[in-house]
Structure 1
């Protein structure tokens, strides 16, 4: 059998796909230019169509509950009433304590920005938390201490031009970058999360953790810049999904904070119980590019943080693993094996059966992640179609096999099995790339997998063409009546006992599959010739 080096490369690339954060260049930018007992993280992308917000936070020991109160100062720059911005604890949406900010700064400047505190147990729309003590236990509470809109000036002349963009996950187009001179506003919000470290100790074990003792505390953020609330700015308003491109367009992202440097001391940082004015002063947003990250980083800041990153969000990673192995390794390998000679048929169906199991497992994980929701992205719909097509393709393959045992030639079922399989593999390649886009991987990841798929497609097509050429040459050299190659031109045939008997007679009749189920025409031509010359005999 010929060597298949491309699949070793596929395996290595698949492994690097899941370990890329460890191998790639770090984007860590932890600044220690201040002695303030707070940590700060900012995104400044208003004029480039990306998220624009800052969050600073500090903690205070809570003697009553033996935990810590955590205070968040969040500012969000806006220029219209569309969309929302959210900060959450942990690395997964499921189980995160989320603070979602939205509202109308243009026509509602006399009103406060809406602050909706939410969470969700699975991978679905976050729900408003009505009773904090019931969710996280006695002593846990979240309160909005201050919330207001402030005018922030206008978009500079060097800023956006009001252009439009189209993304693969969007169904509409409209301006996402404000034009130069557009008025901008800031939602200024101060939150108190009392006994915040109790969040993870509430009923159940599905919540993410937050600790003032963690030197690499993970947080997530997300935003949507195009949802039209139609004036319905209630705390439990339906919120639409954020953008899917995390790393490229700022639809969502992560940061890690050294919480140990943010713990306040009553004796030195304030007198008595901290007031709202005290907290706003302590948590004031430091200006300038050098202060975008104070005690924070866009990569984990400790070994435990890296371990947490690699083990977090296991369901999407499990889904990606099953589908990547199935469509980048196993299915293409099965196509090559049916044309490899020797026991080609056995090799083919064993590998394809394993690939089908991986696909069904990956689809099962994907369906579990969506919960009871109807698929909402092209990636999900295409994945569902591929899974159903593969179920049909397996049935057609089994039916083809049973028919071939009896008539020793292809039927429409055979062609259906062949072409449905080809289409499913091609669609699977496309969907793997869509999955990368959906999960927010970088352009390097997407282009790397895309180039690999292109090379793999060329190799598979060349292998099929080469097998067809060899078969044509072998047919020109002639075959005996039993269908064996006379020239031994490396053409391998799989022999399978029909009834499990001996080597001859009715109970030991054998059938032949050529090196490819595409290349059975030799057997068909042979049978057709016998029919025309009456060679089949009346006793047949």
Structure 2
């Protein structure tokens, strides 16, 4: 017993781990990821992984072969692979370059991110992560003409070039910035991938070059990888069969256990690699066997993406990260601000603005007052949300941001048009006895009809960008659709209502209020109440009321004293009534 304890204490932890792995793993299963098509478009990238325990350094090394498919010699875009369940803290490997350049070098850069925003090289992220960083040895990064058999059915062509990067991540399990641990002994290691084939680098392919966001809706995804059964006693870069499906990888949960066909292919690959290395185990070549092993991999079958319940230490990793990956919960101040931004925009475009339009087209006597009040609240909500979004953004580079800026500018124009039309309308009502339509009203109405649905679409795109669940997105789409249909019906019904026709082009829609000038002075009184932007007459100061009463009393006393004739009295009363109407309209014009 004492001798056994002395032997255990003399072995280091990495050596014990290597001994345990050598007894657990009895066969090698090839691991590859091949994805040409995303949810609704291109993905066009692939990679293979080989997990090798380096006895010299007593740490696991990951041999990675990445491929990016390029069409028509395009120099646009990038492809990325990362260790980790989400962007925050993931160890990312990103490749980009120009296959048609005189020296077609492919850039491979290692980065991370402290949240859901553009990743930066590791040496710029030391404030976020100062722990152990694996060494990454880039063996090759280049473009070569594509000679494979893959044909893209949607693009109706074969790739013109293949960007290939082969690199070794030495001691990759030392990376601890990821939300969940990186392990070389798990059958469900969480990983992510992303791509963007539209970014124009403008000839700058430096390792520090900023990259735009991945393609929306189709340019990213989540993976669970079987690294335990990818353990190989010899180091090499695994072959990639780009006309076949994933092996040892699942996009829905922990990969299925290795099949007999996969193990047979894996055994043939190892045999050829051993022969290539002259049977020497533990050697660490920089580029070995990927081409020779490709022939042995030709008979591998596709692996079904199904869940596994293997009772191993890493078997629960896939289940643990499945929900957080689909709905990232990065509850820091930055994430909270994004949620506030989304809530403000959602309330404005899905609640307040539709409600304001509904009240304007209703038959209420206070409809105009309700319209401008509710729309003002919506504009305040949009303004605050836009400020939050601008402060929280590190760059302006995606369609959601560009459309948001255009919407804010359009709403500013919309506010000015509505206000100026109102002033002009009241001025013509005071001068001519009735309000006249203006070009500003027409632009105000039609601009509103464009801004509202675009704002709803941008709200939905924001929900997708923040990875909200499909139930939330579907609910937002349903609410937006119902709002649009309801508003179309309300506007159509308002046009057919008597009394609305006369207000059809003035931007105010008088509803039950008679048109000023047609029904005499009483119509002006009703219009004054309808277009009221300030307090009611009863709420004005007592001094103004007393002054008006005193004025009227003194005028009556003068008339009585002087013994005015009936004609003169009628003329004076008409003038007083006209002055009173002008006072009412002047109060409306104070805005």
Q: Please classify the TM superposition score into its range, dividing by the shorter chain length.
A: 0.5 to 0.7
Corresponding residue for residue 74 of structure 1: 66
Query: CA–CA distance in 2 between the matches of 1:431 and 1:211?
Result: 41
Corresponding residue for residue 142 of structure 1: 135
Query: CA–CA distance in 1 between the matches of 2:513 and 2:435?
Result: 21
Give unmatched runs, 5+ long, in structure 2: 1-25, 235-269, 275-279, 309-316, 501-510, 549-570, 584-591
Corresponding residue for residue 235 of structure 1: 207
Corresponding residue for residue 390 of structure 1: 411
CA shift at 1:134, angstroms? 7.7
Query: CA–CA distance in 1 between the matches of 2:37 and 2:423?
Result: 61
**Judging changes above 3 Å, is the alpha-carbon distance between structure 1 residues 102 and 466 closer, same or farther for their aligned structure 2 residues?**
closer
Count of residues in correspondence between the two structures: 448
Corresponding residue for residue 195 of structure 2: 222
CA shift at 1:461, angstroms? 3.7
The answer to whether the 8 A contact 1:400-1:414 is kept is yes
Q: Which moved more, 1:325-334 or 1:182-191?
A: 182-191
The answer to whether the 8 A contact 2:61-2:171 is kept is yes
Larger Rg: 2
**Judging changes above 3 Å, is the alpha-carbon distance between structure 1 residues 465 and 262 closer, same or farther for their aligned structure 2 residues?**
same
In the TM superposition, what whole-angstrom CA distance separates every residue of 1:300-338 from its partner, at most 9, and x where no partner exists?
952642134223475666644443432133211111123
> Does the alignment pair 1:430 with 2:484?
no
Aligned ranges 1:150-169 → 2 under 5 Å: 153-154=146-147, 159=152
Query: CA–CA distance in 1 between the matches of 2:441 and 2:181?
Result: 53
Corresponding residue for residue 246 of structure 1: 217
Corresponding residue for residue 165 of structure 1: none
Corresponding residue for residue 517 of structure 1: none
CA shift at 1:380, angstroms? 3.1
**Judging changes above 3 Å, is the alpha-carbon distance between structure 1 residues 71 and 139 closer, same or farther for their aligned structure 2 residues?**
farther
Query: CA–CA distance in 2 between the matches of 1:318 and 1:289?
Result: 48
Q: In structure 1, the residue corresponding to 2:347 is in which secondary structure?
A: helix
Higher relative contact order (CA 8 A, sep 6+): 1
Aligned residue among 95, 102, 105 for 1:101? 95
**Judging changes above 3 Å, is the alpha-carbon distance between structure 1 residues 97 and 261 closer, same or farther for their aligned structure 2 residues?**
same
Corresponding residue for residue 10 of structure 1: none
Query: CA–CA distance in 2 between the matches of 1:50 and 1:498?
Result: 65
Query: CA–CA distance in 2 between the matches of 1:437 and 1:228?
Result: 25
**Judging changes above 3 Å, is the alpha-carbon distance between structure 1 residues 86 and 340 closer, same or farther for their aligned structure 2 residues?**
farther
Corresponding residue for residue 204 of structure 1: none
> Does the alignment pair 1:44 with 2:36?
yes
Corresponding residue for residue 499 of structure 2: 471
Query: CA–CA distance in 2 between the matches of 1:246 and 1:60?
Result: 35
The answer to whether the 8 A contact 1:89-1:208 is kept is no
> Does the alignment pair 1:275 with 2:284?
yes
Q: In structure 1, the residue corresponding to 2:324 is in which secondary structure?
A: helix
CA shift at 1:57, angstroms? 3.8
Query: CA–CA distance in 1 between the matches of 2:369 and 2:117?
Result: 43
Corresponding residue for residue 536 of structure 1: 577
The answer to whether the 8 A contact 1:396-1:413 is kept is no
The answer to whether the 8 A contact 1:396-1:414 is kept is no
CA shift at 1:54, angstroms? 1.9
In the TM superposition, what whole-angstrom CA distance separates every residue of 1:121-154 from its partner, at most 9, and x where no partner exists?
5766543334787863353133125225585753
Aligned ranges 1:291-440 → 2 under 5 Å: 291=303, 301-302=318-319, 304-312=321-329, 314=335, 319-338=341-360, 339=362, 341=364, 344=367, 347-349=370-372, 351-371=374-394, 373=395, 375-376=396-397, 379-391=400-412, 393=414, 419-420=443-444, 423-424=447-448, 426-433=450-457
Query: CA–CA distance in 2 between the matches of 1:361 and 1:154?
Result: 54
Query: CA–CA distance in 2 between the matches of 1:332 and 1:126?
Result: 39
Query: CA–CA distance in 1 between the matches of 2:57 and 2:347?
Result: 48
Query: CA–CA distance in 1 between the matches of 2:461 and 2:471?
Result: 11
**Judging changes above 3 Å, is the alpha-carbon distance between structure 1 residues 503 and 260 closer, same or farther for their aligned structure 2 residues?**
farther
The answer to whether the 8 A contact 2:75-2:99 is kept is no
Query: CA–CA distance in 1 between the matches of 2:320 and 2:120?
Result: 33
The answer to whether the 8 A contact 1:319-1:362 is kept is yes
Aligned residue among 90, 110, 117 for 1:117? 110
TM-score, structure 2 normalization: 0.55
Q: Which is helix-richer, 1 or 2?
A: 2
Q: In structure 1, the residue corresponding to 2:375 is in which secondary structure?
A: helix
Corresponding residue for residue 240 of structure 2: none
**Judging changes above 3 Å, is the alpha-carbon distance between structure 1 residues 276 and 103 closer, same or farther for their aligned structure 2 residues?**
farther
**Judging changes above 3 Å, is the alpha-carbon distance between structure 1 residues 88 and 158 closer, same or farther for their aligned structure 2 residues?**
closer
Give unmatched runs, 5+ long, in structure 1: 1-33, 162-176, 201-206, 510-529
CA RMSD of superposed structures (Å): 6.0
CA shift at 1:119, angstroms? 3.4
Q: Which moved more, 1:433-442 or 1:305-314?
A: 433-442
Aligned ranges 1:480-519 → 2 under 5 Å: 482=522, 496-498=535-537, 500=539, 506=545
In the TM superposition, what whole-angstrom CA distance separates every residue of 1:32-90 from its partner, at most 9, and x where no partner exists?
xx9746754321359x9823222344667899999976553323334536133222345
Q: In structure 2, the residue corresponding to 1:536 is in which secondary structure?
A: helix
TM-score, structure 1 normalization: 0.60
CA shift at 1:347, angstroms? 4.4
Aligned ranges 1:177-216 → 2 under 5 Å: 177=155, 179=157, 184-185=161-162, 187-192=164-169, 194-196=171-173, 198-200=175-177, 210-212=181-183, 215=188
Q: In structure 1, the residue corresponding to 2:383 is in which secondary structure?
A: helix
Aligned ranges 1:437-452 → 2 under 5 Å: none
Corresponding residue for residue 87 of structure 1: 81
**Judging changes above 3 Å, is the alpha-carbon distance between structure 1 residues 412 and 41 closer, same or farther for their aligned structure 2 residues?**
farther
